[in-house]
Structure 1
Amino acid sequence: MPAPGLVMGGVVGLQCGAALTTRMYPLVGPAGVVTLRLCIAAVVLITVWRPGMRWDRATLRVAAAAGTLLAVHHLSYYEAVDRLPLGAATTMEFLGPFAIALFASRRATDLLWACLAAAGVVLLSHSGVSLNATGLAFATLAGCCWGGYILVAKRLAERVPDGRGLALAVSWGALLSLPYGIAQAGTRLLAPGTLVLAAAVAILSSILPYTAQLEALRRLPPRTFGILTSLEPAVGALIGLLFIGQHLTTAQWAGVLAVALASIGATRTPGRAPRPTTTRTPGNAQDHLRTGTSSE
C-alpha cells in the first residue's frame, strides 16, 4: 500500500476507536480506557512480534520516549474527548503535526498547503458555542505529544525495521498508564463487556493504525506525514456525525474541504530531487526517509 494510504488508514482507525470509547467513559473513565487500550495492544503486539530482551541502550531509550509520549497523548486526548466534541478535540490535537509540517518546511508550496490546512482547522473548530477550557487544554497537550511522537517514531522506525520497536513502545506506555487506570476504575477494568469494547478500541486505535503509520514514517519525511494527518479533524468530524450524531455547520464543512485539499496538495506536489551521495547502503531506512521515496 502507498505510504499516504497507510497514513489515512491509521487516521480512520484512530477516529473510529475514539468514537467507540465514548461508550466506555461511563464504565471506566478516560484513564481506564487508555489503560485497557494500551495493555491489550501491548499483549497482541508482543505475541505477534516477540521483541525479546536484547536491545542496545539507544534503541531502548527511543522506544521508551515513544511509549511515554503515547501514554501522555492518550490520557490527555481522551480527557479532551470526554469534555469536547470529537471534531473539536481532534482539531486542537492537530496543532502538533501542523507545527511539524510548518517548521520542517523547505519549499514555498509546503507553506501554502500548511496554511490552507490551518485555515481549515480554524473553520472546522468554529462551532458557535463556547468550548470547555479544561478540554481545550488537554487537547492542546495531546497535540504537543502527538507532534513529539511523530519525530521520535521516525527515529524508532529507522532503528528497528519491523514491529518489534512498536511493541516495546506500546508496552512501556501501558505500564505508565496502568496506575492511572487502576486508580480511576479499579476492578471495573476486568468486566467482560468492558474488555470486549476495549479489545475493539485497541485494534482500531492502536494496533492497526500505529503499525500502518510506523511503516509510513519509514517512507515519508515528518513534514509530509504531519500534513497528511491534517485530515484527522475532518475524519473526526465525519465520524462524530455518523456515529455520535454531532452535526456540522456550513463553516465546518468548509473547513473539511480546506483540510482535504491541503492534504491532497501535499501528496501531489513534486518533491525536491535528492542529492547524490558517495556511499549508500541498499535498503537503508534513513536513505528512504531522507529522500521521501518508497522503500519498495
Structure 2
Amino acid sequence: MTLRLAVAALVLTSLWRPRVRGGRAGLGIAVAAGTLLAVHHLAYYEAVARLPLGAATTLEFLGPFALALCGSRRAPDLLWAGLAAAGVLLLSGSGTALDPTGVACATLAGCCWGGYILVGRRLALCVPDGGGLALAVTWAALLSLPCGITQAGTRLLDPGTLTLAAAVAVLSSVVPYTFQLEALRRLTPRVFGVLTSLEPAIGALVGLLFLGQHLAAAQWAGVAAVGLASLGATRGEGREDGARATAHAEAGAREG
C-alpha cells in the first residue's frame, strides 16, 4: 500500500507540478481527500487479507451506494436499499463465516470511499487540473509511510518489490484516480456512486479466476443482490435525469 501510494505520488507530482489554488481552503480539501484515501487503502487491504475479494469489494461498495441513494425522494429507491441490505446479510451470515474484523475493515473502507467521492468532487471543482490529486495522493503516501515501514521495513527497497509497486501504482492509482477526478468534474456524487455498481461482481470474479477464492451459494446471491440493487438505482437515476432534461427543454421552448 505504501509503495503504491508513494510511486503514484511521484508520478502525479512530476506530471502536474502542483500549485495550490484556492488558498488554505484548497489545501484543506486536498489534505482531507488524502486522509480518506490513506485510511481507505489501509482498511481495504486489511479486509482483503481476511475476506474473499468479492465479499470485501461488495461491503466496500455499500459506501458509494448509500451515497447514491442519499437524498432520493423516490419510493423505489427504498426497495433497492433494502435489497442491498439483504445482500450484505447474505454475505455476512451464511455459508463460509466471514471474519468480523475483515467485515469491519471493509465497511470502514466503504465509508472512506463514499467520503472521498464527496471531497473529491470539491477538489475537482476547486483545482482545475490534476495538481489537487497529486497533493492528495502525496499526503496519503506520507500518512501510510509509518505503517509501511512497520510492516515491511527494508523490503520496501527491494528492486523486485519496487518494480511491482510501480506497475500497480500506475495501473491502479495514477490512471483510475485521474479518470475518476475527471468524472467527478462532470457528474454529481450520487451518479458517480451509482456507476461503481460493477465493482462487487468484478471483485468476486477476479477472486475466483486468479486467487481461487470461492463463496458459498448464498454469498454469491448476496453479491447478485447488491449488483441488482445498484442496477435498479441506475435505471431510476436515468429516468429521473431524462425527466429533468425533458422539463428543461419544455421550459426553454415555452420561453422561446
Tell me, yes or no, if structure 1 residue 40 matches structure 2 residue 7: yes
SS at match of 1:129: coil
Deviation per CA, 1:53-106: give whole Å up to 9, x if none: 565110100000000000011111111111111112222222322221233323
Aligned equivalent of 2:69, options 71, 93, 102? 102
Deviates more, 1:267-276 or 1:178-187: 267-276
Q: Answer 1 or 2: which has greater helix percent.
A: 2
Q: Hey, what's the Cα distance between the residues in 2 that align with 1:156 and 1:138?
A: 26
Q: Hey, what's the Cα distance between the residues in 2 that align with 1:225 and 1:111?
A: 19
Match of 2:251 in 1: none
Q: 1:201 to 1:92 in 2, by over 3 A?
A: same
TM-score, with length taken from structure 1? 0.74
Give runs of aligned pairs for residues 203-222 of structure 1, distance below 5 A. Answer: 203-222=170-189
Amino acid at match of 1:133: P
Aligned equivalent of 1:233, options 181, 184, 200? 200
Q: 1:140 to 1:268 in 2, by over 3 A?
A: closer
Tell me, yes or no, if structure 1 residue 161 matches structure 2 residue 161: no
**TM superposition shift of 1:118:** 3.8
**TM superposition shift of 1:266:** 3.3
Amino acid at match of 1:83: R
Q: Hey, what's the Cα distance between the residues in 2 that align with 1:113 and 1:105?
A: 12
Amino acid at match of 2:235: R
CA contact (8 A) 2:21 2:126 kept: no
CA RMSD of aligned residues (A): 2.3
CA contact (8 A) 1:116 1:259 kept: yes
Match of 1:271 in 2: 240
Match of 1:83 in 2: 50
TM-score, with length taken from structure 2? 0.85
Identity of aligned residues (%): 73
Give runs of aligned pairs for residues 244-255 of structure 1, distance below 5 A. Answer: 244-255=211-222
Q: Hey, what's the Cα distance between the residues in 2 that align with 1:141 and 1:258?
A: 21
Q: Hey, what's the Cα distance between the residues in 1 that align with 2:88 and 2:181?
A: 25
Larger radius of gyration: 2
Deviation per CA, 1:179-228: give whole Å up to 9, x if none: 22112211110101111221122123211221122222222222222222
CA contact (8 A) 2:34 2:140 kept: yes
Q: 1:69 to 1:234 in 2, by over 3 A?
A: same
Amino acid at match of 1:41: A
Give runs of aligned pairs for residues 89-168 of structure 1, distance below 5 A. Answer: 89-125=56-92, 128-168=95-135
Matched positions, count: 243
Q: Hey, what's the Cα distance between the residues in 2 that align with 1:127 and 1:243?
A: 24
